[in-house]
Amino acid sequence: MHQQISEAVREAVQTQTDRLQDSIQRENDELLKTIDENMKKIIKERVKTQVKAQVTRILPRIEEFVNAQLKAEVLTRSSHSLRTSYAVAADLSEMELKKILIDKMEGNKSIQRSDEQRNLYKALVEAYDADKTILDTYGESTILKRRREDDDQEGPSLLQRNLSDGGTLTSGV
């Protein structure tokens, strides 16, 4: 009888121990899950902050480089036609300008000179790919809508003003 009671007590203690271990394991798993989620949030926020800082630091250099390449492209194109540099630049879309710049960078191997230039090149390619994805997704309607909005903001063009004033069309327009 004493042995039966001891056995029953041992089983009860073991059952209670198992329950407590399971409960502690669940709490531990939940705590680890919460810690993991919080770490992911913290890392994500830090990455966002660092990316923003890098982009703001790199963007002026990209703009300088793009402007220099744009000037070179505009001069090249304008030397082959009667149009002004402004007219050539106005005819180029932002995507065309990015593509021209990418081609120039690849052609003169400037991306192999330094990590900074390579990073600028990668950022430009990513921007071009993002624009291309948007264009592929939404089609020409986004570009046409944007051009209409731009035209509305600029008012009548020089050509329209010349014609409405009784002027004639010239090749320098």
Q: For position 86, what pLDDT does the model report?
A: 58
pLDDT along the chain (173 residues), means of 10: 90 95 96 96 94 88 86 70 54 78 81 83 88 77 52 47 41 39
Q: For position 11, what pLDDT does the model report?
A: 94
Q: For position 161, what pLDDT does the model report?
A: 40
- pTM: predicted TM-score of the whole model, two decimal places: 0.33
| Per-residue tokens: 57 | 């630091």
Q: For position 165, what pLDDT does the model report?
A: 43
Q: For position 169, what pLDDT does the model report?
A: 39
List CB contacts of 135: < 8 A, sequence separation 6 or more.
95, 142, 143
Q: For position 164, what pLDDT does the model report?
A: 43
Q: Which residue has the tokens 């680890």?
A: 32
Q: For position 49, what pLDDT does the model report?
A: 92
> Domain limits of the chain?
94-168
